[in-house]
Amino acid sequence: MKISTWNVNSVRARLDNIILYIKKNSPDIILLQEIKTQEENFPYKTFESLGYISYVNGQKSYNGVAILSKKKLSETNAILPGDKIKQARFFSTKIKIDNKKVELINIYVPNGNPVDTEKYFYKINWLNLLLKYLENKIKNGNLIIITGDFNIIPEDIDVHAPEKYLNDALFRIEIRKKFREMINLGLVDLFRSFNKKEDQYTFWDYTQGSWQKNNGLRIDHMLISNLLINKVRKVEIIKNIRGQVKPSDHVPLECEFN
DNA sequence: ATGGCAGAACATTTCTGA
């Protein structure tokens, strides 16, 4: 089974790119972030014609997450307990891997810049709520796959110029500790466990020729329960997507399970 | 320090993103 995560920066503006990607890579499940639309304007029918059922947690203009799946999904939930701001950044469901029940979670973590503003504190608070949610699930014996746009650069190796990001909401120690806390719950940074190389990015800014200079960031992740790691066949960043006409600033991250 | 680009909507300008 192939699972893919992709911040598309507007599902409607990116429809042609997404269709092309689906036809070529045919993931079983795609987790989308930043769909930037309400459910009423989501292109359900386009994806249905490609063989996918869409599950959408939408919002006007900003944020929004969705899961496209070839098979019907069960136990879907669009609410992160305790989040009072209620931006559309969370969607969870249950799937089966190797006949084991697994909670699959799609997240779009707040960016948090500029630091030490209301936006930054919202990010910290959102991550704390997510940690509480994960801790509870894991304590109760649930297997987890959590994927999406974490807006966190885990290590120096994951950013083209670490010294420039020390006081950025994506790289501040305080934020990176939240990522580490997730790992410490018993999760694995799947991409990094399979690939130790530098310059492995999932995002390149639209400005300053970032793509051409390979000035990227690795901020889209898949964390999975330790117990699932031996079910993983392959994990891959689909980098060439960023070179398309009218691309998203993020590219898909794929994982194949046995 | 600013602005580089892109998308959506309050739309020929403003906001948000990372």
Helix (H, G, I), strand (E, B) or coil at A99: coil
Mean pLDDT, range A73-102, rounded to an integer: 96
Protein-to-nucleotide distance from the CA of A207 to the C1' of B3, whole angstroms: 9
Confidence class for position A89, pLDDT limits 50, 70, 90: very high
Predicted confidence (pLDDT) per residue in A114-138, tens digit: 999 999 999 999 999 999 999 999 9
Predicted confidence (pLDDT) per residue in A215-232, tens digit: 999 999 999 999 999 999
Q: What pLDDT is stored for residue A148 in this prediction?
A: 98
Predicted confidence (pLDDT) per residue in A138-179, tens digit: 999 999 999 999 999 999 999 999 999 999 999 999 999 999
Average pLDDT, chain A: 97
Q: What is the DSSP letter of A42?
A: S
Residue tagged active-site, from A21, A120, A133, A149: A149
Mean pLDDT, range A24-35, rounded to an integer: 98
Give me the CATH number covering residue A127.
3.60.10.10
A32, A42 Cβ separation under 8 angstroms: no
Protein-to-nucleotide distance from the CA of A244 to the C1' of B12, whole angstroms: 29
Element (H, E) at A230: none
- Nucleotides of strand B under 7 angstroms from a protein beta carbon: 3-10, 16-18
Residue tagged 């949610």 (tokens): A133
Helix (H, G, I), strand (E, B) or coil at A35: coil
Protein-to-nucleotide distance from the CA of A228 to the C1' of B13, whole angstroms: 50
Quote the strand ranges of chain A, DSSP E.
Answer: 2-7, 29-33, 53-57, 65-69, 74-77, 90-97, 100-108, 143-149, 187-189, 203-204, 216-217, 220-225, 232-237, 253-257
Nucleic acid strand B within 7 Å of A167 CB: no
Domain extent for A185: 2-257
Confidence class for position A104, pLDDT limits 50, 70, 90: very high
Nucleic acid strand B within 7 Å of A62 CB: yes
Nucleic acid strand B within 7 Å of A9 CB: yes
Strand partners, A32: A6, A66
Q: What pLDDT is stored for residue A76 in this prediction?
A: 97
Count of C-beta atoms within a 10 Å radius of residue A64: 27
Residue tagged active-site, from A108, A120, A133, A201: A108
| Residue A206 is a catalytic residue | no
Confidence class for position A100, pLDDT limits 50, 70, 90: very high
Confidence class for position A13, pLDDT limits 50, 70, 90: very high
Protein-to-nucleotide distance from the CA of A209 to the C1' of B6, whole angstroms: 14
Nucleic acid strand B within 7 Å of A10 CB: yes
* pTM as predicted: 0.97
Distance CA A21, CA A27 (A): 9
Distance CA A150, CA A202 (A): 11
| Residue A108 is a catalytic residue | yes
Q: Which residue is nearest to nucleotide B6 (CA to C1')?
A: A206
Residues 6+ apart with CB under 8 A from A257: A1, A2, A3, A97, A98, A228, A231, A232, A233
Nucleic acid strand B within 7 Å of A64 CB: no
Percent of chain A with pLDDT over 90: 99
Nucleic acid strand B within 7 Å of A217 CB: yes
Distance CA A185, CA A169 (A): 22
Structurally, chain A folds into a number of domains equal to 1
Residues 72-111 of A with CB under 7 A from strand B: 110-111
Protein-to-nucleotide distance from the CA of A195 to the C1' of B16, whole angstroms: 33
